[in-house]
Structure 1
Amino acid sequence: MIKILWLLESKINSDFINEISDELELKIQISSSFEKETIYDVIILENLAIISHLSEIQKNSILIYVLDEKNNIFDHQNIYVNYYIRNVSLYEDLYQAFLKSKDFLLKKINTISLKSGKINYHIIKNNILYIESFRNYIVIHTSISDYTLRYTLKKIHKKLGNEFVQCHKSYLVNLNNVICIKENTIELKNEVTLPIGNKYKQNLYNLIYK
């Protein structure tokens, strides 16, 4: 899902959002008020000064600045803007900005960002084979490396989405990396075999062999 922060006085056109959603083949969530804890994929605004922490969140967002005859693009040169678009042709320019950002947005939506202590992790979901939990920690096993974080299995499951399923009280698996299921075990790519808990067996079969 792509999260858009809409900070224009005019209301957004729902038909436009549906068109962009179809073009990107992604669901879109629109917000009209800024929440500090939310990471936005796209921010559309007409006054750069209204976000006091813009310099921090812009690292994770595409910034689209809407210009009219009163705006001066030199007022906020310390803030990097991805696209300057014209208010007189708002939706035409927005459409082009989204098309140019398509590859970036698709890549971003397939990346999970996690913070453990003072360390930020950015992990590509498709690379995750499985996630193992022990006590208050998890180990994210990927095809490239392993990452140990202070996190819970329940919390990480909510962030990952439907392509990940619990096969055991201590394991989440990426359905895209499942090779086969045997009676009490599940085999993944990279010659990984994990146990299947009785509590999770039926749901696992339903998802894989639906």
Structure 2
Amino acid sequence: MKIKVASSFEDGIVYDIIIFEDISIMSRLSTIQKEAILVYVLNNSCNIFDNQNMYINYYIREQLLYEDLHQVFYKSKDILLKKINTIFLKSGKINYHIIKDNIIYIESYRNYIVIHTVISDYTLRYTLKKIQKKLGNEFVQCHKSYLINISNISCVRKNFIEVKNGKIIPIGNKYKKLFYDLYNVSYK
């Protein structure tokens, strides 16, 4: 069984690629078919219909490998971003794709928000209310200026929350009951 692992780069994005030299390996690895985007490289002697029992996302031609592979990456980008649970935000001319699980908390300053993630901080022209609609139930407002990712809470005290990066965030009186209700439901 020969398997090669490589990486491909496109505008600062890294894709991990597993290359199988024998297509019969795929039938034994059913988990890869569910988790990955499968690309089948056709040479002149290959027939697409020989491997119909497997779900293959893209067929590319060996003669036009780089052009076809570039198209596969371009078309697969949206599928990959959905699989890793990202949020798409546009602020001015900049587009952001941020992984929801990496967000620790979000801080608001009037019409601007600062998204604090494990990797970096992003400042965008957005309101807290607008971003909360996009994020979903795993994020809860605990103060008029803060949204917290419930999964990144280290410790909860009476009037404050400590998140995984060590930051202490206050709990506002107006949001206390809602926060405790959502926090207790998610950890029961």
Shorter-chain TM-score tier: 0.5 to 0.7
Unaligned runs of 5+ residues in structure 1 are 1-23, 25-63, 66-76, 83-100
Q: Does 1:174 align with 2:143?
A: no
Q: Does 1:191 align with 2:177?
A: no
Cα gap change, 1:120 to 1:165, in 2 (>3 Å): same
Count of matched residue pairs: 117
Q: CA deviation at 1:106?
A: 2.0
Q: CA deviation at 1:104?
A: 6.2
Q: Does 1:123 align with 2:98?
A: yes
Q: For 1:123-163, what per-residue CA distance to the aligned partner results, in whole angstroms no more than 9, with x for missing partners?
A: 11111010001111000001110000000000000000000
**Distance (whole Å) between structure 2 residues aligned to residue 144 and residue 199 of structure 1:** 31
**Distance (whole Å) between structure 2 residues aligned to residue 117 and residue 104 of structure 1:** 21
Unaligned runs of 5+ residues in structure 2 are 1-33, 35-56, 59-67
Query: Which one has the bigger strand percentage?
Result: 2
Partner of 2:126: 151
Give the residue type in structure 2 aligned to 1:106: K
Partner of 1:106: 83
- TM-score relative to the length of structure 2: 0.56
Partner of 1:135: 110
Q: How does 1:21-40 map to 2 (within 5 A)?
A: none
Partner of 1:46: none
Q: How does 1:29-68 map to 2 (within 5 A)?
A: none
Q: Which runs of 4+ in 1 moved over 6 A?
A: 101-104
Q: For 1:86-116, what per-residue CA distance to the aligned partner results, in whole angstroms no more than 9, with x for missing partners?
A: xxxxxxxxxxxxxxx9876422xx1011100
**Distance (whole Å) between structure 2 residues aligned to residue 158 and residue 102 of structure 1:** 22
Partner of 1:10: none
**Distance (whole Å) between structure 2 residues aligned to residue 104 and residue 148 of structure 1:** 21
Report SS of the residue matched to 1:183: coil
Cα gap change, 1:200 to 1:122, in 2 (>3 Å): same
Q: CA deviation at 1:192?
A: 1.4
CA RMSD of aligned residues (A): 2.7
- TM-score relative to the length of structure 1: 0.50
Partner of 2:135: 160
**Distance (whole Å) between structure 1 residues aligned to residue 100 and residue 161 of structure 2:** 19
Larger radius of gyration: 2
**Distance (whole Å) between structure 2 residues aligned to residue 205 and residue 146 of structure 1:** 26
Greater RCO, CA 8 A, separation 6+: 1
Report SS of the residue matched to 2:176: helix
Q: CA deviation at 1:81?
A: 7.0
